[in-house]
Chains A and B, each alone.
Chain A
Amino acid sequence: MEIKTTETGDINVIEVAGHLDTNTSPDAESAINTLIDAGAQKVLINFAALEYISSAGLRVLLATAKKLKASGGDLKICSLNDTVQEVFDISGFSSILTVSNDQDEALASF
């Protein structure tokens, strides 16, 4: 798994590539937490290069969404591939989290 963080205005964009599973989720979680601890409020996770997500990955997303909501921030997700989209649909996550088709659409929705 690879994580790349960029900033677009006041929005922190995190690009996650590879597999987000039990082994890699803790790294992803700490990377996101570092951002939030540094004061990030608007977070966009771009999954364009994400090949697979497990339940551990889903838990990180939900925990992050809750944390940001509590501090008045917002988490958005974009660019899911078909496999990841299916996991989001079956688990009901596509209705809990805000998921956009691409990064531009997601950025505009903040």
Chain B
Amino acid sequence: MVRELSRSRLIWDALILGLIVVSCLLVAYQFAFAQAHALEGFQVVYLIDLFFLIDIGLNFVTTYRERGVEVFDKRQCSGRYCRRMLVVDVVAAVPFDLIAWALIGNGHVLGGSLVLALRLLRLFRIVRLFVILRRWEALSWSNPAVLRVAKYFVSILLLIHWLACFWFYSSLASGFPADSWVVRAGIQGADAISQYIRSLYWTITTMTTVGYGDITPGRTIEYVLAGIIMLMGASLYAFIIGSIASLLNSINAAKNRHWERIESVTEFLRDQKVSADLNSEVRNFYEHIWERYRGVDRNRMLDDLPPPLRLKVLLHLTEEIRQTVPLFRHASSLLRDALLTSLESRTYTPGSIIAHEGDRGKSVFFIAEGTVEIISAADNKSYGTMSNGDYFGFMSLTLDERRTASIKAVGYCEMLVLDRADFGRIKEEFPEFSDVLKQVSAERSEQLSGLVMDGIIL
């Protein structure tokens, strides 16, 4: 079986996407401008057909996702493909023109040939383009907004191309009468490329509602066609402008929302006559939150997730701290998971006091990122710093004594906090917790006893 989001399938899909665009452009162009009734000049299209036939074969054995689970069963995969896409794919991929040519030769129809008309069936390949892009939306690294832009862009490009081809074909099918636009524009005898450029130019000026008026319809059928194209152009124009505006908004939606929040907060603070310094401190905090968490409230996001998924995300988010904090290194995976799910994440701004001197310990703090300084107001002295992976708070909590020094954030500090209730609960649930604590304290005994001798309780 071929996995729908495997690397090889992605590469193949990207190739097919390219070929869809090429064949949709080439087939319509050859139909209108290079009226070769015979098969010469069409070899490229037949070569491309081969890829689409192989693609049908691959689609039979490609997995799909149902309610988040990838289905590998061959019968189910091919059954689903048969029901949903097989008919369209077969119509778009099988060279029916070749079959018709072999059976009946060039049957004439509508001033062109049946063989050429059958070639147009390949335009149905555009359906597969949407199927592939929808599948890519499931990729974690893909940006749905960008994929939507790509979808619109390719669809509009192809639509304009097809309309340009059809606009020229309207004259060609009637054998270029004197009042047809091609003859009046004087390009009847011009080479195919010039004819195509003029048709494309007219289609674009009409669809974008520019309408210079240098090329105008002359016959009833042309007026009808021009009317339809104008209507399509006007609605498409409105649709494109609206879509692009909403897309640009949605690409940066999170950032815009965050900045709106900053603006409203700082404006509120200005109204309340809060000093400029404090206001800019608040602003800096929000900017830091954006840099660090992309505006997502980590605690709230984790609360939203079901417990097993929350743990998986937490294990990833705390990968570094699990390596650096000895407590997590020594704990069994069960104890570690219980600790992780109880931790609350907090951000402290530079210079702010994380734990106050004189407070009774209510929490244990783990430094996930940043540096803190131990300072005592009593003797106005610094007792050193702690950084990533260090922790404090066990002494004050266990001794039930007031802290004798404050902990100050040097820069922005990301802390993980375990409160007294969770500490007690985990200690009760996991008897090994006390042994682990003993082990990690023994490793830091010199530093801890040094602080005790200095009268520092954290």
Residues of A in contact with B (beta carbons under 8 Å apart) = 54-55, 58-59, 62-63, 86-87, 89-96
- Between A and B, how many residue pairs show CB distances below 8 Å? 57
Residues of B in contact with A (beta carbons under 8 Å apart) = 394-395, 398-399, 401, 404, 434, 437-438, 441-442, 444-446, 448-449, 452-453, 455, 457
Distance between Cα atoms of A50 and B398 in the complex (Å): 16
Cross-chain contact A91 with B442 (CB below 8 angstroms): no
Distance between Cα atoms of A4 and B398 in the complex (Å): 27
Residues of the B chain whose Cβ atoms lie less than 8 Å from the Cβ of A54: 399, 401
Residues of the A chain whose Cβ atoms lie less than 8 Å from the Cβ of B444: 92
Cross-chain contact B441 with A91 (CB below 8 angstroms): yes
Residues of the B chain whose Cβ atoms lie less than 8 Å from the Cβ of A93: 445, 449
Residue of B nearest to A53 (CB): B399
Residues of the B chain whose Cβ atoms lie less than 8 Å from the Cβ of A95: 441-442, 445
Cross-chain contact A55 with B452 (CB below 8 angstroms): yes
Cross-chain contact A92 with B445 (CB below 8 angstroms): yes
Chain B nearest Cβ from A53, distance in angstroms? 8
Distance between Cα atoms of A53 and B404 in the complex (Å): 17
Residues of the B chain whose Cβ atoms lie less than 8 Å from the Cβ of A55: 395, 399, 401, 404, 452, 455, 457
24 A-B contact pairs sorted by A residue (CB < 8 Å): A55-B395, A55-B401, A55-B452, A55-B455, A59-B452, A87-B398, A89-B434, A90-B395, A90-B441, A91-B395, A91-B398, A91-B399, A91-B448, A91-B449, A92-B441, A92-B445, A92-B446, A92-B448, A92-B449, A93-B445, A93-B449, A95-B442, A95-B445, A96-B446
Distance between Cα atoms of A13 and B401 in the complex (Å): 29
Residues of the A chain whose Cβ atoms lie less than 8 Å from the Cβ of B434: 86, 89
Chain A nearest Cβ from B452, distance in angstroms? 5
Distance between Cα atoms of A100 and B352 in the complex (Å): 44
Contact of A62 among B404, B452, B457 (CB under 8 A): B452
Distance between Cα atoms of A106 and B336 in the complex (Å): 36
Cross-chain contact B449 with A90 (CB below 8 angstroms): no
Cross-chain contact B455 with A59 (CB below 8 angstroms): yes
Distance between Cα atoms of A90 and B397 in the complex (Å): 10
Q: Contacts A55-B452, A62-B449, A62-B453 given: A90-B394 contact, CB under 8 Å?
A: yes
Residues of the A chain whose Cβ atoms lie less than 8 Å from the Cβ of B395: 55, 90-91
Which 4 A-B residue pairings sit nearest by Cβ, starting from the closest?
A92-B445, A95-B442, A89-B438, A92-B448
Residues of the A chain whose Cβ atoms lie less than 8 Å from the Cβ of B448: 91-92
Residues of the A chain whose Cβ atoms lie less than 8 Å from the Cβ of B441: 89-92, 94-95
Distance between Cα atoms of A92 and B441 in the complex (Å): 5
Residues of the B chain whose Cβ atoms lie less than 8 Å from the Cβ of A62: 449, 452-453
Chain B nearest Cβ from A97, distance in angstroms? 9
Residues of the A chain whose Cβ atoms lie less than 8 Å from the Cβ of B394: 90
Distance between Cα atoms of A95 and B441 in the complex (Å): 8
Chain A nearest Cβ from B340, distance in angstroms? 21
Chain B nearest Cβ from A64, distance in angstroms? 12
Cross-chain contact A94 with B399 (CB below 8 angstroms): no
Residues of the A chain whose Cβ atoms lie less than 8 Å from the Cβ of B455: 55, 59
Residues of the B chain whose Cβ atoms lie less than 8 Å from the Cβ of A87: 398-399
Chain B nearest Cβ from A99, distance in angstroms? 11
Distance between Cα atoms of A86 and B428 in the complex (Å): 13
Cross-chain contact A90 with B445 (CB below 8 angstroms): no
Chain A nearest Cβ from B326, distance in angstroms? 12
